[in-house]
């Protein structure tokens, strides 16, 4: 009986290592997210796009701080699926936002300011875990619906779109 448990544990651990070995190598670029295309066994680099910050002057009425990107959609497309994962090599935790598309522009809110306070808007809830030994992977806590999204690393914005099924 103990021998059977040992074999079962050995096979289970071996399959975990086999899954990890089948994943592509971690990225060698710091602070750049890559889409993990599990079907193709590849990491695909996300596009960074120029953006404009709208930081209103704080006043008595709370104002929303926004980021605007030109264009109605990102050139980088991801198929709709239950879990969309991104891999990155950085010490900061990125934030994930969903754009609101308005004509030929995309926009998301990242904070609220008033005379007395400045409150960040954290974006969509994400989970971060280790990827191999030297990188991290992130995924949204809920499946991403079709639309336009941004991953923010400090002052850089990487965009992607999720297509419908």
Q: The domain containing residue 140 runs over which residues? A: 2-163
pLDDT band at 102 (very low <50, low <70, confident <90, very high): very high
Instruction: Give how many domains the chain has, as a whole number.
Output: 1
What local confidence, expressed as pLDDT, does residue 108 receive? Answer: 96
Q: Are strands 105-113 and 118-120 parallel, antiparallel or unpaired?
A: antiparallel
As a whole number, mean pLDDT of residues 78-101 equals 92
Read off the pLDDT of residues 1-60 as tens digits, 9 standing for 90 and up: 444 444 444 434 443 444 456 789 988 888 899 999 988 899 999 989 999 998 887 777
Q: Are 78 and 58 in contact (CB under 8 A)?
A: no
As a whole number, mean pLDDT of residues 66-93 equals 92
DSSP string, 50-102: --EEE-PPP-SS-EEEEEEEESSS-S-EEE--S--EEEEB-SSPPEEEEPEEE
If you search the block for the tokens 């419908």, which residue do you land on? 164
Closest CA to 137 of 43, 18, 17: 43
Read off the pLDDT of residues 121-148 as tens digits, 9 standing for 90 and up: 889 999 999 999 889 999 999 999 999 9
Non-local CB neighbours of 40 within 8 Å, separated by 6+ positions: none
What local confidence, expressed as pLDDT, does residue 15 receive? Answer: 37
What local confidence, expressed as pLDDT, does residue 21 receive? Answer: 60
């Amino acid at each position: 009986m103990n021998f059977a448990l040992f074999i079962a544990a050995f096979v289970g651990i071996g399959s975990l290592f086999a899954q990890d070995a089948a994943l592509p190598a971690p990225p060698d670029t710091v602070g750049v997210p890559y889409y993990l295309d599990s079907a193709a066994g590849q990491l695909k680099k996300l596009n960074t796009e120029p953006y404009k910050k709208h930081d209103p002057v704080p006043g008595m009425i709370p104002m929303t701080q926004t980021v605007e990107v030109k264009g109605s959609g990102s050139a980088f497309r991801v198929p709709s699926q239950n879990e969309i994962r991104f891999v990155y090599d950085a010490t900061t935790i990125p934030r994930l936002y969903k754009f609101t598309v308005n004509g030929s522009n995309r926009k998301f809110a990242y904070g609220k300011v008033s005379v007395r306070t400045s409150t960040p808007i954290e974006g969509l809830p994400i989970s971060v875990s280790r990827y191999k030994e030297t990188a991290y992977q992130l995924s949204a806590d809920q499946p991403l619906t079709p639309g336009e999204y941004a991953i923010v690393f400090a002052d850089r914005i990487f965009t992607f779109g999720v297509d419908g099924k």
